[in-house]
């Protein structure tokens, strides 16, 4: 699997609000361990100013830390995204991250470019506003975000840039949406993570420790689980039929985050379910293989 031909690899850019909670980290590591991905970069995303006034910078530090733990520093392109949401639906927030999307999308490559968004759509919207020709390119925007269909309502990733979501939904860029009703079903327990990840080297231990620590600091009352809610963004690329979905006319969003169904925009793919067993077991297996490879290399040395 390490020498897959070009046509068997999926071009990928990952846009992540990595320090927002504790699940992005699992998705970043999973993507890095997946040989099918022709990985073109990671973009550090903001997550509003509710939890931090330096959200994008916090995400960047977390991405760099994960790469350090995996001994991948300097080997994966990393770019900063916008530090804040769009000021309105006509104005881009230029950033190295948005430029990374444009540069990769405009390359002469017949394969789709998947851009997986684990947070707000700021950098996708900015890229579209900066380079309208993206509407004609083979770009697939995979978004973890949006509330319950068909009504909608408050949802964190959407809340952090409603204007950007409207820009993307009104565009001609292909969108695969994974709403909250799907990503909330990705729960794992502490015991599961401790058994499957904690002993898999520094990166495995860090993933478990930071998740438990985040829950301890943020949640009130007893808790011993967490949803790895960003993981479906990889599942739908690796196994597009591993779930149920419908093509529905792209909605707009009201200021209160409700769907507005005008029927005038191109269809988007909306997932209703994900094969949870498949994608979680895929992660555990790849983490275990990575750890064995590191151990074997150390023993050989």
What is the rounded distance in angstroms from the CA atom of residue 42 to the CA atom of residue 266?
Answer: 28
Mean pLDDT check: name the lowest of 3-7, 10-14, 134-138, 161-165: 3-7
Asked, as a colleague might, if the bond just before 248 is cis with ω within 30 of 0, I would say no
> How many residues are given for the chain?
301
pLDDT band at 298 (very low <50, low <70, confident <90, very high): confident
Q: End-to-end alpha-carbon separation of the chain, Å?
A: 24
Q: Is the CA virtual torsion 156, 161, 164, 166 positive or negative?
A: positive
Q: What is the pLDDT of residue 301?
A: 59
Mean of the per-residue pLDDT values for the chain?
96
pLDDT at 145 exceeding the cut of 60: yes
Which CATH number is 6-292 given?
A: 3.90.245.10
Average pLDDT over residues 105-114: 98
Report the predicted TM-score, pTM, of the whole model to 2 decimal places. Answer: 0.97
Average pLDDT over residues 136-151: 98
Cα dist from 66 to 19, 54, 288, whole Å: 11, 19, 17
Domain ranges of the chain: 6-292
Q: What is the pLDDT of residue 1?
A: 46
Which residue from 196, 165, 245, 207 is spatially nearest to 62, judged by alpha carbons?
Answer: 207
Q: What is the pLDDT of residue 296?
A: 83
Q: What is the pLDDT of residue 297?
A: 78
DSSP 254: -
pLDDT (tens digit, 9 = 90+) per residue, 214-248?
999 999 999 999 999 999 999 999 999 999 999 99
The answer for 246, left when phi > 0, alpha when psi is -120 to 50, beta otherwise, is beta
pLDDT (tens digit, 9 = 90+) per residue, 48-91?
998 899 999 999 999 999 999 999 999 999 999 999 999 999 99
What is the rounded distance in angstroms from the CA atom of residue 114 to the CA atom of residue 130?
Answer: 19
Q: Please state, for a pLDDT cut of 70, what percent of the chain lies above it.
A: 99
Q: What is the pLDDT of residue 2?
A: 61
């Amino acid at each position: 699997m390490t020498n897959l031909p070009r046509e068997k690899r999926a071009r990928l850019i990952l846009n992540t609000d990595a320090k927002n909670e504790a699940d992005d980290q699992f998705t970043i590591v999973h993507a890095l361990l997946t040989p099918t991905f022709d990985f073109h970069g990671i973009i550090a995303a903001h997550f509003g100013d509710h939890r931090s006034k330096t959200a994008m910078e916090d995400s960047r530090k977390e991405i760099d830390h994960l790469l350090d733990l995996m001994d991948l520093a300097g080997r994966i392109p990393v770019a900063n995204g916008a530090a804040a949401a769009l000021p309105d639906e006509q104005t881009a927030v230029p950033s190295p991250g948005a430029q990374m999307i444009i540069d990769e999308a405009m390359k002469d490559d017949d394969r789709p470019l998947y851009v997986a968004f684990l947070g707000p759509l700021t950098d996708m919207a900015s890229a579209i506003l900066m380079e309208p020709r993206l509407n004609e390119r083979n770009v697939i925007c995979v978004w973890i975000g949006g509330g319950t269909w068909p009504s909608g309502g408050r949802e964190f990733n959407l809340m952090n840039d409603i204007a950007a979501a409207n820009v993307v939904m009104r565009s001609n860029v292909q969108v695969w949406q994974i709403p909250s009703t799907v990503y909330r079903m990705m729960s794992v327990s502490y015991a599961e993570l401790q058994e499957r990840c904690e002993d898999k080297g520094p990166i495995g231990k860090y993933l478990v420790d930071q998740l438990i620590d985040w829950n301890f600091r943020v949640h009130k009352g007893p808790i011993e689980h967490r949803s790895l809610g960003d993981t479906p963004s990889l599942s739908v690329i690796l196994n597009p039929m591993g779930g149920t979905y419908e093509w529905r006319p792209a909605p707009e969003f009201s200021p209160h985050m409700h769907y507005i169904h005008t029927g005038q925009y191109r269809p988007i793919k909306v997932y209703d379910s994900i094969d949870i067993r498949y994608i979680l077991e895929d992660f555990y297996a790849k983490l275990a293989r990575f750890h064995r490879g590191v151990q074997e290399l150390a023993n050989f040395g």
